[in-house]
Structure 1
Amino acid sequence: MKDSRARIRIPVVPPADEAAGRGSEPGKLLSAREQDTSESRPLYAVPAQIKAQPGSKRATRPKTFRTWGRRLPPGPIAVLTGLILMALILPAVLVWPRGTHPQPAPPGKIQPDTTVQPESTDTKKPAQTKAVKVSVFLSSTGTIETLPLEDYIAGVVAAEMPPEFGYEALKAQAIAARTFIVRRLLANDTSGAPKGADVTDTVQHQVYLPLSAIRQQEKDPQRAAELASIRKAVKETKDIIMTYKGKPITASFFSTSNGYTENSEDVWTASVPYLRSVPSPWDQKIAPGYKETITMKTTDVLDKLGLRGEAVRAASGSGIFPEIKILSTTAGHRIKSIRIGDAVFKGTDLRQRLGLRSSEFTWTIRGDQMVITTYGNGHGVGMSQWGANGMAKEGYTATQILKHYYTGINFAKASQLL
């Protein structure tokens, strides 16, 4: 689910289900063989006939024992045995795996982990053999485009995230987009889409760049290289989705945080365990839309809030804006409820009515105008796209990005669920 003010635009248009902490109790290291604590014994008994020769301090052996200890030249069988052993051992030595040690992460950055892999899959269920298709309603033409799942994901990433974003952020976006559509397909959820379509290409679901638009853009060498990078990110995460308790999550994402993400119940109705408020400090550093200031006429504000009469009662027609007071804030530091005159609004409702980028904002009344400054861009639930970009630039992997923004999620293969 993508917020209408959360998308990032690129030439056409612009955050996974249990925590998987793996570990094992260290076991006792055992030697390759047990020590023999018994007394050492000779390999053979020295015959009683062995006597010291006169004038010699060394014992001599009967003639029958004089060949013991001599180095005899190797016979044909010994030579052949040696050659066979070398033939068997040498290839194993040449291909023996050599340990690789990851380079230390730059100062102040975490050590990147391995490539995203499913951490739990249902091995009892055979892999999906039938190609999964997605039917997308194209709002610009009013037609439906049906294409393979992975091609659809490439179109979503191309539309939702700029290709110059960190590569691991592109991979995280691919997994989030795949999780979103797989959840809908599993639930046979076609809400908001015309008959015959699974989703639309709008922010109501996920913005999608049609195949025809991709082919047209690939004629430009620079754009072709960017799309190739996106396709690579999709390919490297193929079939991977985020789950919670074995089911695909609601992988909501948005453009820019105000420094934190939101708890789901502060924006929608239900409390979702994996959509918890977490810090997102990267946005303020790099996101161009982190802070925005707009100016509106006070009369327009009152009209949009249905409070034109309230202003008259408060100021007797003087045009003075009614008193504004914040009543509560959310875990994500946004306005939860606010009173304007005698009316109380939710911060999310006020944001929608006034068309604000975020429900964290400050205001100043200047005569007949209201100057409003917002922080962040979008509903704030799930993964911040600019936050993901900031994490990728600092060396975090797609796995770490997703586990940061979606609390307690796991990874699985979509083909084992569809």
Structure 2
Amino acid sequence: MKEARVQVKVPLVPRPGMLGSEESSTQDAEKDRLATEKKRGNPLQVAKMHIVIGSKQETIHAKPGEYVTEELKQEATEHINIPLIELDAFRKVKRRLMRTFGRRRHWGRHPGLWHPATAVSALLVLAICIPVILVWPRAGEQTKPTPAPTDANPSKGLNTPSPVPATPVSYPEPNVRVYLSAAGTTLELPLESYVTGVVAAEMPAEFRLEALKAQAIAARTFIVRRLVANDTSGVPSGAADVTDTISHQVFIPPDEVKADWTRLGKAKEWEKLQQAVRESRDAVMTYQGRAITASFFSTSNGYTENAEDVWGNVVPYLKSVASPWDKQLAPGFEETVTMKRSEILQKMNLDAIPVSADQNGSWIKVLSTTKGHRIKEIQIAGETFSGPEVRKRLGLRSSQFSWKTTGDEVQITTYGYGHGVGMSQWGANGMAQEGRTATEILKHYYTGISFGQASKMLASK
């Protein structure tokens, strides 16, 4: 800002304080005259007035006898567009500023020193203003309001939308056709009712709930696999999906089970059976997306069998696992039967015992065993048989057995009951007594399996 200085030469007028005592009588008249001259302006004792602006000096010429009025001063300084500052007032302001800030250099005296700073400041202002200009709403545009969240959680201080629960997909419950071998008729009923009849026939009602649930899932998986494949093998004339015998799964119609158990005072067992089926509803075991062959049996010899050692085919989820609970719980874990040698030879389609074998006393000899500690191959009277084949022909409870010959009699002791592939029912009950769930039981006896939805699998068939 440029400095403006106004120099006005005026006659020296004595101040009222400087008057002598002899002039006090004329003081009032002098005041009136001065007041009048103040309104009109001072008589011009000098012919010019100097106005200094920076290094420039402007001069105002007046005619003799004219008064320098406020209007004249404004007219003289109007073309330079600066305010008129009285000399005394300006000097007071200047002295006050210098006392406050001292005598400092002004940037205007050294323009080369502050130009880079000015350029940097300008760039910073542009960097800030350009993004604001870009996002500033255009004329006529309306700012879209931010939608309010649908749910608030005051405890966390954040508003988050509530997740929308997925709507469960329901599929129609399929029906099962059961061939009743005793009556020679076919019964059609819903899938879950069929499972109820199988569990009632296959597993003791006194077993723990989780064991009953595991049995229900195994029974459901067995029939679903047949339904998906349209498998009617083993059914007379193929007019049904499954029979009610051990060829498939033993089955008793649910109405008959309820009536018999109610008459025998087993209402609680019936309720528990229904609960097991209800809580495992629609669940099946799967392997690579398909329902498995859910084989099961009564009692193990302490281990289950590999499928290939019993049926000749490798099944990845039917592998030998330990089952130590059976020996502790199963009442028929060990059983001894007595047979004559002639009876054994007859059932094995053998004519006679060779003399050499009879003389050595080893006409029965084990050749190899399975991973499940059962007999894999055995030699009887010089002929070789598989362990499962001997079990089936002699009607033994298990393919693990030992024998003792006394004269013409042979005492055969078996360990466990059943083919040994899949889930042991007594082993499942032992696991349930230890607090294991149905899922844990099934994953123990069926290696690497998953779980699926029966109705969904049948609906997409």
Structure having the higher helix fraction is 2
Kept in 2: contact 1:311–1:322 (CA 8 A) = no
SS at match of 2:223: helix
Residue in structure 1 matching 2:428, options 388, 400, 403: 388
Amino acid at match of 1:380: G
Secondary structure of 2:186's counterpart equals strand
Instruction: Map 1:228-377 onto structure 2 (within 5 A).
Output: 228-311=271-354, 314-315=357-358, 323-377=363-417
Residue 407 of structure 1 aligns with which residue? 447
Counterparts of 1:172 and 1:311 in 2: how far apart (Å)?
49
AA at the equivalent of 1:185: L
Question: Using CA pairs below 8 Å that are at least 6 residues apart, which structure has the higher relative contact order?
Answer: 1
Q: Which residue of 2 aligns with 1:164?
A: 206
- 8 Å Cα contact 2:173/2:455 also seen in 1: no
What is the CA distance between 1:218 and its match in structure 2? Answer: 4.6
- Give how far 1:219 is off: 3.4
Contact 1:299 1:308 (C-alpha < 8 Å) held by counterparts: no
Report if the CA contact (8 A) 1:253-1:384 is conserved. yes
Q: 1:386 to 1:91 in 2, by over 3 A?
A: same
Query: Shift of the alpha carbon at 1:286?
Result: 0.4
Q: Partner letter of residue 352 of structure 1?
A: K
Rate the CA distance shift 1:310–1:407 in 2: closer, same or farther, 3 A. Answer: same
1:224, distance to aligned residue in structure 2 (A): 2.3
Q: How far apart, in 1, do the equivalents of 2:449 and 2:406 lie?
A: 47
The Cα offsets for residues 168-215 of structure 1, whole Å up to 9 and x where unpaired, read as 000000000000000000000011113321101111000111134124
Name the CA distance, whole Å, in 2 between partners of 1:273 and 1:185.
22
Larger radius of gyration, structure 1 or 2? Answer: 2
1:333/1:130 CA distance change after superposition, 3 Å: same
Task: Report the TM-score, using the length of structure 1 for normalisation.
Answer: 0.68
d(CA) in 1 for partners of 2:413, 2:442: 29
What RMSD, in angstroms, separates the aligned Cα atoms of the two structures? 2.3
| TM-superposed deviation, 1:322 | 5.2
Q: Is 1:220 paired with 2:257?
A: no
CA contact (8 A) 2:353 2:363 kept: no
Structure 2 counterpart of 1:355, one-letter code: G
Partner of 2:51: none
Structure 2 gaps of 5+ residues are 1-151, 157-165
Q: Which amino acid aligns with 2:323?
A: S
Q: Which amino acid aligns with 1:389?
A: N
Counterpart of 2:369, as a letter, is T
CA distance in 1, matches of 2:357, 2:262: 61
Report deviation, 1:311: 4.4
1:152 to 1:340, Cα distance in 2 relative to 1, 3 A:
same
SS in 1 for 2:265: helix
Aligned-partner residue type, residue 274 of structure 1: Y
| Identity fraction in percent | 59
Contact 1:360 / 1:374 at 8 angstroms: preserved in 2?
A: yes
Structure 1 position 207 matched with structure 2 position 250:
yes
Describe the superposition over 1:267-312 as per-residue Cα deviations: whole angstroms up to 9, x where unpaired. 0021000000000000000001110011111111111112232346
Aligned to 2:181: 139
How many residues are aligned here?
A: 297
SS of residue paired to 2:352: helix
- Deviations 1:328-369 (Å, cap 9, x if unpaired)? 100100000011232111111111111100010000100010
AA partner of residue 308 (structure 1): D
Structure 1, unpaired ranges of 5+: 1-87, 93-122
